[in-house]
Amino acid sequence: MKRRNFLGSIALGGSLLSNKEDKIQNPDSLPQSKDPAKNLFFEADMVVAGGGLGGCAAALAALRNGLSVILTEETDWLGGQLSQQGVPPDEHQWIETQGATQLYRDFRTAIRQYYINHYPLTDEARNRKHLNPGDGAVSRLCHEPRVAVAVLNDMFMPYISSGKLTLLIEHKAISADVDGNKVRSLEVVNVKTKTRSKLSAPYFVDATELGDLLPITGTEFVTGTESKSETNELHAPEKGNPENNQAFTVCFAIDYRPGEDHVIEKPVEYAFWKDFIPKMAKPWSGKLLDLSYSNPKTLEPKQLGFHPAGIKTGDMLNLWNYRRIISKDNFKPGTYAGDITIVNWPQNDYFLGNLIGASQKDFEKHANRAKQLSLSLLYWLQTEAPRPDGGKGWPEIRLRKDIMGTEDGLAKYPYVRESRRIKALFTIKEEHVGAENRAIAVANGAPGPKEKAANFHDSVGVGYYHIDLHPSSGGDNYIDFASLPFQIPLGALLPVRMENLLPANKNIGTTHITNGCYRLHPVEWSIGEAVGLLVKFAGEQGVAPRVVREDSGMLKGFQGFLKGEGVELGW
């Protein structure tokens, strides 16, 4: 076998990663191999499309229970929003002790241990119980994307070695063979070689970022906003709009090199973005490239601070510290000249178009314009952002291409906040989890105390995040309000018709509103883990997943199985 072919076969097997830039590609734009000799066939107990946190959790849950799994990932990095999208974990305040599965907490522990094992930490940082490498304000565990990739690869390695896991990186689903209410096989394409593969299994899991399997399998789904008449939600609009989705963001990493000049070439669209003022039904604070934004809760203009040395900026949040993934003070002197932070701010939210359901032309147009926005923000920070000394710009800021593993320094894939959502047997609405709407529901006769989210008899996990909707493509400003610690109902993971396709990302049965609190890292993981365990349980019982919910005895047995696997079912 030639060396080139040998390396290609290793990549199909699972662990070969590339440092080359990943292009954001729409499946319609991928040339297809028509040579049957180049087509491959794989078979397993479960196929998972999408290597984000939900997909990884689903695969790990099934693998540790003896199932064989095929896991595909469009980029060359596992980890989804945590890695290829460059977003440090958004988590709730109780994450260290409760409100997530044991496996998710084990993953977090392994992240910390990776730094302890491999990095020159200070003695204080090394001995800190809850080490936070970046000391970022957004999370109790802000870390580099590559560390998440390394830990996930380590977690999967025994299963790759034993042959239980087939990991197809740089593969994207393009079509499916469907017989009535069941998916028989999935066809994927290698985004580099264009080789097609057919994947067969009794169960298929859609853990893609945009719910890609739903349209190609004919699974019923919804997108965008529902009207108040449809959901009776307190914050729903009078008129729904399936094209109205939250902003997506192309993140990037920067560090601070005092005394150096790292100003990038002026972006092609800089003139546009420099003067861009968002047009929204409830007005934005002014120009997008500015150190002010709309307060998410009140929509009043709010001033932000910025200083790349990480020092205090009065009473204002220093954006540099918000998603900082490396704080040089946690490492021995000389390790880092400056901190490293991730830029995922209001200023680079892109809402001039959608990726969901976009044509090839529009997909590429909006993905590229979002990149131009992010590069324009960087150039603005380097050349025009106000300094405390009265000057303008911070040329000492350097784009860290290596952190994102791409040639242009931007994330391998956009941070997508919203996806296609299955039409589910049960849809989670604001009345179930929104603090204000829940109080109204209880006053009108809904069971339970108003201080707690609705109790779901079919709970398969828990989570928490406030309802946080970013500005949208339809002209909405922030929609941000309190929610309550909630459960994940099994009914929201079951499509109304399809029997062997399950969601494991932001594509579960929520509304546009409740998606705002079910879309974050630990909840996505919990959804995926529940799905992986459901496939195991339903397979052993010889029933379709929906039967597990319909049969009270079987549901009780499944929930007992979940608890035994370290899954919390209530707060």
Q: Which residues contact 129 (CB under 8 A, 6 or more apart)?
A: none
Lowest mean pLDDT among 5-19, 344-358, 424-438, 533-547: 5-19
Closest C-alpha among 226, 223, 197, 196 to residue 210: 223
Distance CA 140, CA 92 (A): 9
pLDDT of residue 501: 98
Q: What is the pLDDT of residue 360?
A: 81
Residue 25 has pLDDT above 80, yes or no: no
With cut-offs at 50, 70 and 90, classify the pLDDT of residue 38.
low
Residue 509 has pLDDT above 90, yes or no: yes
What is residue 134's DSSP assignment?
T
The answer to whether 498 and 182 are in contact (CB under 8 A) is yes
pLDDT score of 40: 92
CA 525 to chain centre: 10
Q: Side chain identity at 396, as an amino acid letter?
A: E
Does residue 155 have a pLDDT over 50?
yes
Q: Quickly list H helices, 391-520.
A: 401-404, 430-433, 435-443, 515-518
Does 482 score more than 80 pLDDT?
Answer: yes
List pLDDT tens digits, range 269-308. Answer: 999 999 999 999 999 999 999 999 999 999 999 999 999 9
Spatial distance between the Cα atoms of 198 and 42, rounded to a whole number of angstroms: 6
Residue 19 pLDDT class (50, 70, 90 cuts): very low
Position 35 scores a pLDDT of: 57
**d(Cα 505, Cα 500) in Å, to the nearest integer?**
16
pLDDT of residue 4 exceeding 80, the answer is no
- Which of 340, 404, 341 has its CA nearest to residue 84? 404
Name the band, by pLDDT with cuts 50, 70 and 90, for residue 103.
very high
Cα–Cα distance between 195 and 23 in angstroms, integer? 17
Provide the whole-model pTM: 0.93
- Please report the pLDDT score of residue 12 as a whole number: 44
Predicted local confidence at residue 24, as pLDDT: 41
Output the six-digit token pair for 452.
Answer: 């707690």
Q: Find, among 306, 323, 321, 244, the residue nearest to 81 by Cα.
A: 323
Averaged confidence pLDDT in the chain? 93
Q: Tell me which amino acid residue 393 is.
A: G
- Expressed in percent and rounded to 5, the helix, strand and coil fractions of the chain are 30, 20, 50
pLDDT at 39: 78
Contact 30, 174 (CB under 8 A): yes
Answer yes or no: is pLDDT of 495 > 90.
yes
**pLDDT at residue 232, as a whole number:** 98
Q: Is residue 5 very low, low, confident or very high in pLDDT (cuts 50, 70, 90)? A: very low
Share above pLDDT 70 across residues of the chain, in percent, rounded to a whole number: 93
Q: Is residue 31 over pLDDT 80?
A: no
Q: Do 214 and 510 touch, CB atoms closer than 8 A?
A: no
Q: pLDDT per residue over 105-147, tens digit each?
A: 999 999 999 999 999 999 999 999 999 999 999 999 999 999 9
Question: Mind listing the pLDDT tens digit for each residue in 91-100?
Answer: 999 999 999 9
Order across the sheet with 46-49: list the strands: 165-169, 69-73, 46-49, 203-206, 501-503
pLDDT of residue 338 exceeding 60, the answer is yes
Q: What angle do CA 90, 385, 468 make, to 5 degrees?
A: 25
Please state, in angstroms and rounded to a whole number, the distance separating the CA atoms of residues 289 and 377: 6
> Residue 21's pLDDT is what?
34
Q: What is the pLDDT of residues 410-448, one digit of tens each?
A: 999 999 999 999 999 999 999 999 999 999 999 999 999
Q: How confident is the model over 183-241, as pLDDT tens digits?
A: 999 999 999 999 999 999 999 999 999 999 999 999 999 999 999 999 999 999 999 99
